[in-house]
Amino acid sequence: MKSKTLQKIDRIRCQNANASQDRYYLGMSEIGTECKRQLFYSFRKAKKRVLDQKSVKAIEDGHLQESLMANQLRILPLIELHTEENGDQIGFSDIDGHFCGHVDGMIKGIEQDILKWFVWEHKSVNEKKFSQLVKICEEKGEKLSLKEWDYVYYCQAIMYMHYSGVGLHYLTVTTPGGRDDFDCITEYDSRIATILIEKANDIISSTLPPARLSDKREFYKCKWCNYQEICHDGVFPDVNCKTCKHIAHKENGSFYCVIKKKAIKKEKINVACDSHVYLSGLIDAQEVNYNDDCTIFLKNGIYFSNCAKNGFPPILENKDIQIFTSKELFKNIKSVQNIQEKALKLQKKFKGEIIR
């Protein structure tokens, strides 16, 4: 068993990592994800991802290997490698600043084509995934290998080439600890870039989730998804400004509250006010009525409402409708199913019936 010293260090590392990973935009690094619904939940901050110790250490090792590889590349005298711009990581943005990405670097002077600039990305992966890349490269050729190996990485590369205006991508890959290394080149594809940008636009502008990848909870691609309970079980999302129907996405990556008529500071996004009402598309139930302060839902014959704390509007004509604030739904109810179970218990106790 670990000593208390190492356990305490692990806790602090996890706390720091989870605090620093929070972001408010749709990432170019994830736009290749197959499930658009997953991307919708991610962009809307439906559930915060909590990194465990192994994940934190893997990320830390990746950063170390990236730094080590950058130093190794600079050993060659003709290589010019830029990893920062004005002291910050080189980044790109589109769709009013709500679609963003940050590249590891821009490089010129590599032996494959010494006169051209390349987008540089580094990945640190386990031995099995590393061996798969080497095999694909040997069988299908270098320029097709990234797309075949990891489509999400490939789409990230396409986006960085598109927004940098550089039509070549240079990927370096190492195993944990940097004991094995490999590289490959990928060319820009404008058709794929157009498809991905349209995909990002759809996700950012939508208030309704795209179709599920599968309606089966046990489907293998859904099994490990961070949003499985929200998507398949009707669990209520986190309560924050991004899950509220009152948020508007403005230019330069900014946010605006239409109910309070003022800008929302990014550091306040996670602290929802008492006017929070869930974006209807995030709730696994049919919206039947709404106004600024309240939404009424119907699921399997059960009505319930999600209302702001500052008073319940007169649209609630049916007295049997259960009234909840967003925080009550999230903390005390947990899921649509729990509301249904409570209603059915009351029905059974008082021998009533559910009137649709």
Tell me: the pLDDT tens digits for 94-122? 999 999 999 999 999 999 899 999 999 99
pLDDT greater than 80 at residue 353: no
| Residue 355: pLDDT over 50 | no
* Residue 181 sits in the same domain as residue 64: yes
* 3-12, 68-77, 210-219: least confidently modelled range: 3-12
Q: Is 223 inside any structural domain?
A: no
What's the domain range around 262?
Answer: 234-350
Residue 346 has pLDDT above 60, yes or no: no
pLDDT at 313: 56
Q: What DSSP letter does each residue of 86-151 carry, written as one string?
A: TTEE-EEEETTTTEEEE-SEEEE--TTSTTSEEEEEEEE--HHHHHHHHHHHHHH-HHHHHHHH-H
Is the pLDDT at 332 greater than 90? The verdict is no
Total tally of structural domains belonging to the chain = 2
Residue 180 is given by DSSP the state S
Q: 201 and 69 in one domain?
A: yes
* pLDDT exceeds cutoff 60 at 171: yes
Portion of the chain with pLDDT greater than 90, in percent: 69
Higher pLDDT: 189 or 352? It is: 189
**Between 50 and 239, where is the model more confident?**
239
**Residue 179 falls inside a structural domain:** yes
Looking at the structure, do residues 29 and 109 belong to the same domain, yes or no?
A: yes
Q: DSSP letter at 168?
A: E
In DSSP terms, 289 is beta-bridged to 296
Given a cut of 90, is residue 25 above it in pLDDT? yes
54 and 179 inside one domain = yes
Sheet holding 294-299, edge to edge: 286-291, 294-299, 302-307, 322-324
Please check the confidence at residue 348 and state whether its pLDDT lies above 60: no
Report the pLDDT value the prediction gives residue 350, as an integer from 0 to 100: 47
User: Is residue 32 predicted with pLDDT exceeding 50?
Assistant: yes
33 part of a folded domain: yes
Residue 34 lies in a domain: yes
Q: What is the structure's pLDDT at 87?
A: 87
Which pLDDT belongs to residue 290? Answer: 85
In a domain, 1, yes or no: no
List pLDDT tens digits, range 130-158.
999 999 999 999 999 999 999 999 999 99
pLDDT at 262: 94
Q: How confident is the model at residue 7 (pLDDT cuts 50, 70, 90)?
A: confident
The answer to whether position 38 is within a domain reads yes
What is the pLDDT averaged over residues 275-297?
92
| pLDDT tier for residue 345 given thresholds of 50, 70 and 90 | low
Indicate if 248 and 117 belong to the same structural domain.
no
Task: Show the tokens assigned to 318.
Answer: 């049916």
Asked whether residue 195 is assigned to any structural domain, the reply reads yes
Residue 2 φ/ψ region, left for φ over 0, alpha for ψ in the -120 to 50 degree band, beta for the rest: beta
187 and 49, same structural domain? yes
Cβ atoms of 25 and 99 closer than 8 Å:
yes
**Statement to judge: residues 152 and 250 lie in one domain:** no
Task: Identify whether 220 is part of a domain.
Answer: no
**Residue that the structure tokens 């559930």 belong to:** 47
Averaged pLDDT of the chain: 90
Do residues 63 and 177 share a domain? Answer: yes
Residue with tokens 């598109």: 162
d(CA 90, CA 101): 9
64 and 160 both lie in a single domain: yes
The answer to whether 278 and 325 have CB atoms below 8 angstroms apart is: no
Checking if the pLDDT of 4 tops 90, the result is: no
C-alpha dihedral (42, 44, 46, 47), degrees to nearest 10: 50
Among 155, 186, 205, give the residue marking a domain's end.
205
State the CATH number of the domain containing residue 100: 3.90.320.10
Residues 123 and 200 in one domain: yes
Which has more confidence, 312 or 145?
145
pLDDT in tens, 43-90: 999 998 877 888 888 888 888 999 999 999 999 999 999 999 888 999
C-alpha to C-alpha distance for 257 and 244, rounded to whole angstroms: 9
- 0.85 surpassed by pTM: yes
Verify that 184 and 265 share a domain, yes or no: no
Task: For residues 190 and 250, state if they share a domain.
Answer: no
